[in-house]
């Protein structure tokens, strides 16, 4: 069956990409990542009292994913997974990278390989990162050292103020490795302007580009301009705070994405550009986010901390108004892009079966080359094969410090291919067990009733945790 599926995908891609192996047949790729945007925080994902026409045009003009999950309920690990296609704890990022080393739980390991490195080396892409990095604050873990030829953004975990751009009084804004003096422009407008400027500079260029555009909105502090706040309140005067300002912030962000699309059309590049839109973790309910029907908020291992929107837009290639309920993770994005490009270039297919989650053996393609991903390619889904439904166990871990965690303790979850999910949201809490097939809102804890299953999955979780604990997440001692 898999053989025929590969033939089917190969045939579609052959016609979609053409037989030309020229560099200019490869699509441009723009990956738009928002920060803490909830599952129901855009109008096309079902929310009322909020208008996001530009994001909706990506959702409705391409494929909407309804069962996509982030690799972490917090920022840095998901970003590591997105760029590497790996489980983040296996490349040194089980928690948030911060200025204070004692309170920082991530350090990119030298054996990691990021998507911009692959795209630049194997396909000749021009690679640019605009916005939030959050995978290191100093050498060697800066964007230019990890495959991005151009970087314009900030290195930190957040901004304390969208207008002065500082974090704990420090300026982390950089143009490559040079400081950028902060001005008073709202960060959403700043990143939109930088991204648009870059896109317009690619007019008439035959070299394809990969842009990773990571907005920090709508992460707290919930701040937007008076224009967007007033515009929102005039239409929806009864929306309470903080939801009203949060919604205005999302509409502000949506306008920025509209400007990106406009720049793309102005540059004549819209017809051959793949655009992905998503979030790094679930919405923060305290800040006014809306995670829809699922339980939980950012930092939670319930579905509300992990399930977010994902839309992929690729004119003529991905059918508009299409939808997929495939269970996917952030780490599946990089293999999917890699898979699409390898087939566009006439190289071997990279669709493959992964080994069991707890087996550390490397995965190889049909020519014996190691495939450097933990995630899977869902390229078949994008190209219309609705039968492609990966069955696999999934795992989450988040290391943190502070009152709840102590020093470097962790919370974790393990989801079996049969949709049983074991989790705990506090390091010393008893495990909870949910049957996500019958109880997607995680309301009925089965840990006592089905204690045998809970123990079995807890043992699998422990085994998988140990793999990650072997990987350092702190800078090497000097």
Q: What is the distance between the alpha carbons of residues 62 and 267, in angstroms, rounded to a whole number?
A: 21
Query: Which residue from 29, 33, 35, 136 is in contact with Ca ion, where contact means CB under 5 A?
Result: 35
What's the rounded Cα separation, in Å, for the pair 82 and 312? Answer: 14
Output 280 or 400, the one with its CB closest to Ca ion: 280
- Establish if 442 lies at the interface with Ca ion (CB under 5 A): no
CB-based contacts of 139, cutoff 8 Å, min separation 6 = 145
Q: Does residue 432 bind Ca ion (CB under 5 A)?
A: no
Candidate list 26, 29, 36, 288; residue touching Ca ion; CB under 5 A: 36
> Which pair of structure tokens corresponds to residue 290?
């809306």
Q: Which two tokens stand for residue 131?
A: 């916005």
Nearest distance in Å: CB 216, Ca ion: 9
Min CB(402)–Ca ion separation in Å: 17
- Among the listed ranges 70-78, 117-125, 167-175, 223-231, the one in contact with Ca ion (CB under 5 A) is 70-78
Tell me how far, at minimum, the Cβ of 74 lies from Ca ion, in Å.
6
Q: Which is nearer to Ca ion, 51 or 278 (CB)?
A: 278
Burial level of 272, CB count in 10 A (0-12/13-18/19+)? middle
Tokens of 10: 């190969």
Residue 75 interacts with Ca ion (CB under 5 A): yes or no = yes
Does 281 help bind Ca ion (rule: CB under 5 A)?
A: yes
Q: CA-to-CA distance for 87 and 478, rounded, in angstroms?
A: 27
Q: How far is CA 115 from CA 119, 335, 340, in A?
A: 6, 9, 13
**Residue 305 Cβ vs Ca ion, minimum distance, rounded to whole Å:** 10
Binding segment for Ca ion (CB under 5 A), chosen from 12-20, 71-79, 136-144, 235-243, is 71-79
- x/- mask, Ca ion, residues 372-411, rule CB under 5 A, reads ----------------------------------------
Closer to Ca ion by Cβ: residue 35 or 332: 35
Q: Where are the alpha helices (DSSP H) in 202-291?
A: 226-235, 243-266
- Candidates 72-80, 180-188, 353-361, 442-450: pick the segment binding Ca ion (CB under 5 A): 72-80
Nearer to Ca ion, 95 or 390 (CB): 95
Q: Which stretch binds Ca ion (CB under 5 A): 28-36, 157-165, 233-241, 361-369?
A: 28-36
Q: Which residue, 78 or 343, has its beta carbon nearer to Ca ion? A: 78
Nearest to Ca ion of 75, 199 (CB atom)? 75
Q: Which of 75/135 has CB closer to Ca ion?
A: 75
In the Cβ-directed half-sphere of 162, how many Cα atoms lie within 13 Å?
A: 20
# chain residues binding Ca ion, by CB under 5 A: 5
Termini Cα distance of the chain: 53
CA dist 324 and 149 (Å) reads 34
Residue 36 Cβ, how far from Ca ion at the closest point, in Å? 4
- In this structure, the chain runs to a length of 478
- CB neighbours of residue 402 within 10 Å: 9
Token look-up 């705070």 returns: 241
Query: Whole-angstrom Cα distance, residue 394 to residue 392?
Result: 6
Say whether 215 sits in a helix, a strand or coil: coil
Considering beta carbons, is residue 75 or 108 the nearer one to Ca ion?
75
Cα 179 from Cα 195, distance rounded (Å): 18
Which residue of 41, 89, 251, 280 would you call a contact of Ca ion, by CB under 5 A?
A: 280
**Nearest to Ca ion of 17, 159 (CB atom):** 159
Residue 179: name the closest of 191, 166, 188 by CA. 166
Contacting Ca ion within 134-173 (CB under 5 A): none
Residues contributing to the site for Ca ion (CB under 5 A): 35-36, 75, 280-281
């Amino acid at each position: 069956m898999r053989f025929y599926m590969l033939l089917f995908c190969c045939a579609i891609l052959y016609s979609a990409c053409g037989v030309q192996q020229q560099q200019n047949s490869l699509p441009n790729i723009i990956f738009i990542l928002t920060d803490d945007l909830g599952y129901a925080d855009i109008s096309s994902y079902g929310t009322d009292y909020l208008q996001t026409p530009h994001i909706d045009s990506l959702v409705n003009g391409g494929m909407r994913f309804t069962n996509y999950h982030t690799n972490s309920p917090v920022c840095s690990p998901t970003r590591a997974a997105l760029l590497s296609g790996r489980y983040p704890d296996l490349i040194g990022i089980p928690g948030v990278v911060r200025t204070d080393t004692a309170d920082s739980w991530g350090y990119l390991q030298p054996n990691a390989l990021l998507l911009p490195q692959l795209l630049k080396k194997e396909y000749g892409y021009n690679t640019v990162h605009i916005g939030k990095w959050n995978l290191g604050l100093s050498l060697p873990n800066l964007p230019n050292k990890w495959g991005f030829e151009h970087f314009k953004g900030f290195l930190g975990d957040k901004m304390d103020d969208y207008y002065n751009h500082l974090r704990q009084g420090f300026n982390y804004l950089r143009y490559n490795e040079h400081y950028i003096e902060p001005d008073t422009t709202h960060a959403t407008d700043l990143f939109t302007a930088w991204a648009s400027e870059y896109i317009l500079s690619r007019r008439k260029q035959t070299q394809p580009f990969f842009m990773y555009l990571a907005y920090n909105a709508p992460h707290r502090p919930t701040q937007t301009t008076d224009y967007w706040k007033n515009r929102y309140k005039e239409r929806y005067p009864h929306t309470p705070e903080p939801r009203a300002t949060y919604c205005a912030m999302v509409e502000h962000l949506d306008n920025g994405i509209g400007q990106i699309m406009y720049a793309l059309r102005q540059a004549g590049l819209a017809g051959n550009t793949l655009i992905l839109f998503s979030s790094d973790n679930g919405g923060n309910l305290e800040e006014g986010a809306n995670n829809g029907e699922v339980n939980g908020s950012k930092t939670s291992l319930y579905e509300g901390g992990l399930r977010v929107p994902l839309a992929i837009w690729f004119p003529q290639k991905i059918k508009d108004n299409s939808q997929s309920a495939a269970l996917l993770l952030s780490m599946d994005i990089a293999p999917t892009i890699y898979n699409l490009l390898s087939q566009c270039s006439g190289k071997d297919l990279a669709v493959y079966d992964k080994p069991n989650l707890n087996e550390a053996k490397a995965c190889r393609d049909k020519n014996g080359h190691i495939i450097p991903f933990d995630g899977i390619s869902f390229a078949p889904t994008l190209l219309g094969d609705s039968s492609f439904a990966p069955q696999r166990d999934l795992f989450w871990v988040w290391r943190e410090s502070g009152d709840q965690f102590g020093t470097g303790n962790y919370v974790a979850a393990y989801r079996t291919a049969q949709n049983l999910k074991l989790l705990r949201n506090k390091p010393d809490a008893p495990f909870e067990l949910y049957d996500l097939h019958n109880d997607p809102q995680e309301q009925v804890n089965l840990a006592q009733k089905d204690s045998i299953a809970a123990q079995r999955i807890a043992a699998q979780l422990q085994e998988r945790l140990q793999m990650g604990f072997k990987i350092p997440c702190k800078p090497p001692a000097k």
